[in-house]
Amino acid sequence: MRIGDILKGKKAKGYFSLWLFIIKNKKGKNATSQDDMGTFRLSSKIYSRFVEVKPMEIIVQKFGGTSLATKEKMEMAAKKVIDAKKEGYDVVVVVSAMGRKGAPYATDTLLNLIQEANQNASPREVDLLLHCGEIISSVVFSQILTSKGYESLALTGAQAGIITDKSFSEARILKIKPDKIKKHLKEGRIVVVTGFQGATEDGELTTLGRGGSDTTATALGVALDAKYVEIFTDVDGIKTADPRIVDNAKTLETVTYSEICQLAHQGAKVIHPRAVEIAMQKDIPIKIRSTFSDTPGTLVTNCRENGQTVDIFAYRIITGITHMGDLSQIRINMHEQKDSSKMQLNILKTIAASKISIDFINISPQEIVFTVAGKNTTKVESILSEMNIKANITRGCAMVSIVGVNMMGVPGVMADSVEALVEKDIQILQTADSYTTVWYLVKEQDIEKAIIALHNKFELGN
């Protein structure tokens, strides 16, 4: 530590006592030294006795399965971690299982393995098996970092202090005890934590459901008071639409928590909405970036990086276009029912009792209309048949959504979007809207055409 730096007003405590100590010990051993340039330096041991050293800031980096699918991709991910370490951060890494369905340790591969043994395996046993994918990934990745000279170790969700409720396969994080992570960070290690998992208070292993690794990352970010959380994936940020469908889809530089929650809930798959909701608790910024490039990606926050509060992007009425496929529309005519209100309530309660989620609900005295996931169509049809209710079912539907937190009160959004679809001869089966979103139900065969039409109408592309 250069003595001249200490005396230039750097924030620390005990400078006066420190200076007296230097004078008194000028000839003492290990207090000061003089380099070839004649600059006096103070030993770090003496400096730490008098000066308050600020701990390094923590960041959390999460890598999904596609970022860890091969040794080469793992090497690229490791470079992101090492770059952050070189910048002076303490780094906590969260990893998913390696690869996607078909890869030997991917989550879907493990699910197929247990389903082949028993289609009705208990959720507890399934969760126990699924832990294996992330454990393998974390150990391999931590050893890659260690082989490069950066001491690292792997922790399971339970070892990292992640405590959940007892809802196997869809557990919720109740609290995090980050003491073990902090201990290893203080000792200079990079900590690699298994995403997607935790444990109950009595030690039962649980998983957090789809998108669980994102949730692990932001929950750790909150628990560790991280400067920010980075979600690394195979795309370079949040797009105005699916780039596989829209050639000129633009990467959004900054979005608010509200915008990304709406985009995620309506079908954008870059980050899980629950993860965003957790980050909002402490206003922890989220950076969504590509593992395979150095582009800055998308910053999710309500604040600029310099700490200044931002306006809510008033210039941007529409943020993006999302979609969700494989839906069925259920339409039930109430004209023949004696008490339509009671019958509608009975329908909703009976379907809910079967643990089937419904969406896009419109209720009027004449009819009730809603959508279900395609996989649940036959079951709903059977439920209604048992109730002696005849339904008009349209399979093969998709929902396209226009998301924008500033569209409320802006005239013409609905008119312009309907015009865009009508011009392309796209049949609108159903509509709904909220303060931030307009939804259209269309035939799945028309979904790509609808996305492109709406994206062009609102001039969202590059």
Condensed to tens digits (0 to 9), the pLDDT of residues 159-201 reads: 999 999 999 999 999 999 999 999 999 999 999 999 999 999 9
Per-residue model confidence as pLDDT tens digits over 199-222: 999 999 999 988 899 999 999 999
417 near 438, Cβ under 8 Å? yes
Residue 45 predicted with pLDDT over 60: no
Q: Are 45 and 110 part of one and the same domain?
A: no
Same domain, 72 and 206: yes
- Does some domain include residue 278? no
45 and 77 part of one domain:
no
What's 421's domain CATH number?
A: 3.30.2130.10
Mean pLDDT of the chain: 86
Judge if 9 and 127 occupy the same domain.
Answer: no
Residue 46, domain extent: 3-50
Residue % of the chain over a pLDDT of 90? 65
How high is the pLDDT of residue 50? 47
Overall number of domains in the chain: 3
The beta strand positions in 237-335, using DSSP E, are: 254-255, 286-290, 298-300, 320-333
Of residues 27 and 120, more confidence is placed in: 120
CB-facing half-sphere around the CA of 460: CA atoms within 13 A? 30
357 located within any domain: yes
Q: How confident is the model at residue 444 (pLDDT cuts 50, 70, 90)?
A: very high
User: Is 124 within a domain?
Assistant: yes
For the cut 80, the answer to whether the pLDDT of residue 10 exceeds it is no
Residues 85 and 28 placed together within one structural domain of the fold: no
Residue 263 lies in a domain: no
Tell which of 205, 234, 263 closes a domain: 234
Q: Do residue 141 and residue 8 come from a single domain?
A: no
Would 78 be classed as within a structural domain? Answer: yes
Q: What 3-state DSSP class applies to 176?
A: strand
| pLDDT for 462 | 78
- Whether 12 shows a pLDDT value over 60: the answer reads no
Q: Is residue 38 part of a domain?
A: yes
Gap between the Cα atoms of 81 and 77, Å rounded: 7
324 and 374, same domain (yes or no)? yes
Of 50, 72, 89, at which residue does a domain stop? 50
Same domain, 217 and 328: no
Q: What is the band of 303 on the pLDDT scale with cuts at 50, 70, 90?
A: low
186-190, 304-308, 454-458: segment of lowest average pLDDT = 304-308
Element (H, E) at 419: helix 413-423
26 with 101, same domain? no
Gap between the Cα atoms of 147 and 128, Å rounded: 30
The predicted pLDDT at position 99 comes to 85
208 and 342 belong to one structural domain: no
pLDDT at 258: 84
Residue 276 within a domain:
no
Residues 69, 24 within the same domain = no
- Which one of 234, 252, 272 terminates a domain? 234
Give residue 165's Cα distance to chain centre. Answer: 20
Write the pLDDT tens digit of every residue in 110-125: 988 888 898 889 999 9
- The percentage of residues in the chain with a pLDDT greater than 70, rounded to a whole number, is 85
